[in-house]
Amino acid sequence: MARDDSILPDPGKYLTNNLKELYADAISQLISDLGREVTLHLPPIESGCPNCKYLSVGGRGLYKYNSSNPFSGPPYNVPFADGQRCPVCRGTHIIHIPRQSTWHATIVKRPRDYDYEFYGVSPENVVLTKFLVEAWDDVNNCIRATIDGLDYERLSEPVKIGLGNNPEDLKFINVFWKRVT
Ligand SMILES: [Zn+2]
């Protein structure tokens, strides 16, 4: 059956650029005023160990402390005696440097609009956060998040939201989390 839109006014008169800006400003202001810090834990970077050098001495390998280690102290600068196992990389010569970033986000505990039964989670363990779209890469890549001092993992794929259907209208990210600690 064909839809008769003739009783509707012409499209595009209400959802003006001004209104979109007003909406984006208001939500950004909410994130700034009501939001709290959320720490996103990102995959660690694998790196060569800065604390040791591998030397070939008389046909066998020797680990030696790297005195030009750019780090100034633990955990990445721990001097050790020649031939001992490097305490930083435990002799693997590879270290994993943790990364994290901090973003402001509004935090809704026990959010509505979530099918707790279907996903088998209890409401007290679920939060909904809203970030600025600038956090997109970190929200997507993070392994877990610290929210109000507790650890969470993503319960849903992040979704870009905004007023309007154009990519540039999608200025915010909604993502659900489940408590893991
Ligand atoms: Zn090392």
Kindly list the structural domains of the chain, giving each domain's residue range(s) and its CATH number in brackets, ordered by start.
Answer: 17-44+98-179 (2.40.10), 50-92 (no CATH)
Distance between CA atoms of residues 55 and 40, nearest Å: 38
Tell me how far CA of residue 158 lies from CA of 34, 39, 66, 137, in angstroms: 20, 16, 43, 10
Which residues are close to ligand 1, an ion, with C-beta < 5 A?
49, 51-52, 86, 88-89
Residue 12 clears pLDDT 70, i.e. is over it: yes
What spacing in Å lies between the alpha carbon of 119 and ligand 1's midpoint? Answer: 44
The 3-class SS string of 49-99 reads CCCEEEEEECCEEEEEECCCCCCCCCCCCCCCCCCCCCCCCCCCCEEEEEE
Note the pLDDT tens digit of each residue in 82-95.
Answer: 889 999 999 888 99
pTM: 0.78
User: What's the CA-to-centroid distance between 55 and ligand 1, angstroms?
Assistant: 12
**What's the 42 CA to ligand 1 centre distance in angstroms?**
23
Other CB atoms within 10 A of residue 175 CB: 23
Distance 64 CA to ligand 1 centre (A): 8
Q: What is the pLDDT of residues 100-109, one digit of tens each?
A: 999 999 999 9
- Asked if residue 2 has pLDDT above 70, the reply is no
Q: How many CA atoms lie within 13 A of 123 on its CB side?
A: 8
Please give the pLDDT value at position 114: 87
- pLDDT tier, 3 (very low <50, low <70, confident <90, very high otherwise): low
CA–centroid distance, 77 to ligand 1, in Å, is: 9
What are the structure tokens assigned to 30, written together? 């909410």
Mean pLDDT computed over every residue of the chain = 91
Can you list the alpha helix ranges (DSSP code H) found in the chain? 17-34, 116-119, 136-141
**Who wins on pLDDT, 16 or 45?**
45
pLDDT tier at 4 (50, 70, 90 boundaries)? low
CA–CA separation, 135 and 160 (whole Å): 11
Considering only residues 70 and 1, tell me which one the structure prediction assigns the higher pLDDT. 70
